[in-house]
Each structure stands twice: as C-alpha cells, then as structure tokens.
Chain A
Amino acid sequence: MEAIEKIKEVAEQAVSGAQIEIVNSTPAAAQPSLLVDCEHIYAVAKFFKEDPRFLMDFCSCVTGVDYLPKDDKPGYIEVVYHLYSVALKQGPIVLKVRAPRELEQCSVPSLTPLWRGCEFQEREAYDLYGVKFDGHPDLRRILMWDEFKDHPMRKDYEPLLDCEWEPTPHDDTLARAEKAGGIVPPSAIEEAHKAKR
C-alpha cells in the first residue's frame, strides 16, 4: 500500500470537500491515521471500501477514545475505525472522527451501512462513551442494561460509592472508602484515634 500522504491525497481527490488530516500519536506509532471531518467520513470510508486500489472490505475494530479539555482546548470523543482489505491482503487504514464531549452533540455518522461488522462495536462505543451513531440501524446499549444512564468509560465518570468494605485501601481507593464510610485496617484506626486525641 502507498504511503499515508499518498492515501490522503487520493482520498481528498475522490471525495470533494473532505478535510483530512494525518494524525500521529505521540510517540509516533507505525500506524499514522487519517482524521476526517464528520460530514465526509461516510463518503471517505465508502471510497476506501469500493476503490479497487484499496478494497477495504473488513472493518476490524471500532473504538471510542475520550479526550478531556486541556489547556483551554475543548475536549472531544474520538471514534477510531481500523480498516483492512482481505481481498488485497493489505491494511490497516486507520480512520478517526471527532465529536464534542457534550452528550447532546456527541454524534458521528454510522459506518454500519458499509460494514455490517460495525454494528455491535458501534453499540459498544455508544454504551460506554455516549457517542450517537447517526444512521445506525439498532442503536441500543449492548454491555450495560437498558435502564443504565451513565457512560462509564468516559474519564469524568464518577465511580460508585459501593466500597463499604475495603481490605487493602490505598490512594484513590482509600479516599473513596473514606467517603463511603468504609473500612480501613487497624493501623489506620489507631492513627485516626491519635488524631482525635
């Protein structure tokens, strides 16, 4: 397969108006990815699927990533698709698309109409990150129960205070156990009483 710069150029030519950016993780991985804007992700993905040079017939992985706001930059949820071609034995092409973290606006186009295999993985990303996939045929929770309201893989998810019993509390767990009125070992009991005196 060609270099990532070439792939980007070809895709930009094929899909007019698509804004594609090459993203490299730090430290640079061997797999640079293409960050595509929300409006054109479907068209770009369709191009990679159907173009005879790529024939990306297999979407192996759909992942959500949560980026918190940092240095006045707003946070975002990123959805990552890994595409492979079984027919041409090549890949991966990594596509990324970003959506705002706010639940009401957090939506990206679904790629399930292109690859049926995305269905469950997009449901998982919806379940755990709260990303809505527009055009998904059956967007329900898949791991947590339907009545569940949170999106627990988000970094600002507040863990439950059900740690009444903590045999080995330390650091964050200790703080949580304290908050929940939990149990700490005898040495800490003694220290607490010393502090009282």
Chain B
Amino acid sequence: MAIDEELRSEVQNHGVFILPFEQLYNWGRKSSIWPLQFGLACCAIEMIATAAARHDLARFGAEVFRATPRQADLMIVAGTVTKKMAPQVVRLYNQMPEPKYCIAMGACAISGGPFKDGYNVLKGIDRYIPVDVHIPGCPPRPEALLHAIMTLQRKIAGQHLEKEQRPRWYDKTAPAEYLIPTYGEHDLEPPVNREVWQPPRSYRDVTLEEVKKA
C-alpha cells in the first residue's frame, strides 16, 4: 500500500478516498454483522437490551438479528450451554455460512460459570467451536456486549485477503464444519473437541527452569 499519507489526506479533503480494496471490503463486512437470533439463558435478556432502543446495537450495524443460521454471520452464545444443548449449538454454528464469528457472552458461555462443578453444564462453548471474543460477567452489561462487537469489528478490519494471511475460510480445502458431540452414557462424546480446544499444560509438565524464569 504505497500511498503517500500526505497525498491521501490531501485528496481526502477534496472528497476522494483512496484506500486498499481489502480495507473497503472489510469496512463493509464489519459494518453489517448479522447476529443469529438465539439466546440460551439470562444473558439473552441483556442481549435483547443491547439490541433495544436504549443501547441501540444498530449504531454498529449489527441490529439485523436473523432467525435462521443460514443468514447469520455472528453467533452470540448468550447463556448457559447445557450438555444437552451443546450439540444443537454446534450444529447451528455449522449451518452458518462463512465467514462466521462467535462471541461467548457471560461466565457460563466462556467457562460454565457458577454451574462449572455441575454434571450438566458444558465448561465453555470454546470446547467445541472457536470463539472470537469472550465476554466475562454474570450477566455482562449491554455495554460489554457492545464492546465485544467493537472488538470483533476491529478483528474483521484487521483480516487480510492475501494468500499468506488470508482467513481459513478462503482455503477451499479447509474443513467447514466442526465436530458435533453425541450423547454418551455419562458425558458428551467426545467431552471436548481437541482440534478446537486444548487445556493449558498440567503443572506436572512445567519444568523447573520455566518456574524460575516466571
């Protein structure tokens, strides 16, 4: 992008915008994120409040909640994901067209939250689908969701279309779907998709040198 900044600024003053195509393309994409109309628990109420008049998600171009995954770009996982619900959530994400994004909203969606020690709640949706933005909070304020959308917009704006740095979905051979867990006798099978999520290393594998360095 060898455009002289001064020149660019100069012509901009005359109403002429010179910018890389990718920037224009990403500007268009980030300004019309269509979320999936889908809530799982109390966080969904905050999501509704975010979309309603007071907080007005429309200011960020993301007010068009779609009632079908086939027309949505963004899945806001708003609420507790029970193990019984998890396969359906992954299936919905699989049905969304690329490029697609995911915001995990609230303590439950990012980690299981207060139900983490229970037998029935998934300990974070990032165990099955890649999450772009995590929002802590129980529930997060609408401002926090707005911040997450702005964070996602920055992420979209920073994506490249060129060969090396292009997103995964421009690679036609990349897998388009994520593994849908099945109901097992004691837990979901598998309990975690290792291709998507890896637990941090066990402290047993940490070497003494690493500890000293830390």
List residues of A whose CB falls within 8 A of some B CB.
143-150, 152, 157, 159-160, 162-165, 173, 181-184, 186, 188-190, 192-193
Q: Are the CB atoms of A148 and B202 closer together than 8 Å?
A: no
Given contacts A183-B200, A186-B214, A192-B203, contact A145 B84 (CB under 8 A): yes
Q: Are the CB atoms of A183 and B199 closer together than 8 Å?
A: yes
The A contact surface, by secondary structure, is: loop
How many residue-residue contacts, CB under 8 A, span A and B? Answer: 61
Contact of B185 among A143, A147, A165, A182 (CB under 8 A): A147
Q: Are the CB atoms of A181 and B119 closer together than 8 Å?
A: no
C-beta contact mask, B44-64 vs A, less than 8 Å → 1, else 0?
000000000000000000000
Q: Are the CB atoms of B191 and A162 closer together than 8 Å?
A: yes
Contacts of A164 in B (CB 8 A): 199-200, 202
Q: Are the CB atoms of A183 and B203 closer together than 8 Å?
A: yes
Kindly provide the distance from the CB of B188 to the nearest chain A CB, expressed in whole angstroms: 9
Q: Are the CB atoms of B199 and A184 closer together than 8 Å?
A: no
The 7 A-B residue pairs whose C-beta atoms are closest, nearest first, are A164-B199, A145-B183, A152-B119, A149-B185, A147-B183, A189-B203, A181-B202
Given contacts A162-B191, A164-B199, A193-B211, contact A143 B120 (CB under 8 A): yes
- Nearest to B200 among chain A residues (CB) is A183
**Does B186 belong to the interface (CB within 8 Å)?**
yes
Contact size class for B?
20 to 34
Contacts of A163 in B (CB 8 A): 123
Contacts of B201 in A (CB 8 A): 183
Contacts of A189 in B (CB 8 A): 203, 206, 211
Kindly provide the distance from the CB of B209 to the nearest chain A CB, expressed in whole angstroms: 11
Kindly provide the distance from the CB of B13 to the nearest chain A CB, expressed in whole angstroms: 52
Contacts of A147 in B (CB 8 A): 183-185
Contacts of A162 in B (CB 8 A): 123, 187, 191-192
| 14 A-B pairs (CB sep. < 8 Å) | A143-B120, A147-B183, A148-B183, A150-B119, A152-B120, A157-B119, A159-B119, A162-B191, A162-B192, A164-B202, A173-B117, A182-B202, A186-B214, A189-B206
Contact of B202 among A157, A160, A183, A186 (CB under 8 A): A183
Kindly provide the distance from the CB of B169 to the nearest chain A CB, expressed in whole angstroms: 28
Kindly provide the distance from the CB of A169 to the nearest chain B CB, expressed in whole angstroms: 10
Apart from A144-B84, A160-B187, A192-B204: 20 A-B pairs, beta carbons within 8 A: A143-B84, A144-B120, A145-B183, A146-B183, A147-B184, A148-B185, A148-B186, A149-B186, A150-B185, A152-B120, A164-B199, A164-B200, A164-B202, A165-B199, A173-B117, A181-B202, A183-B199, A183-B201, A190-B211, A192-B203
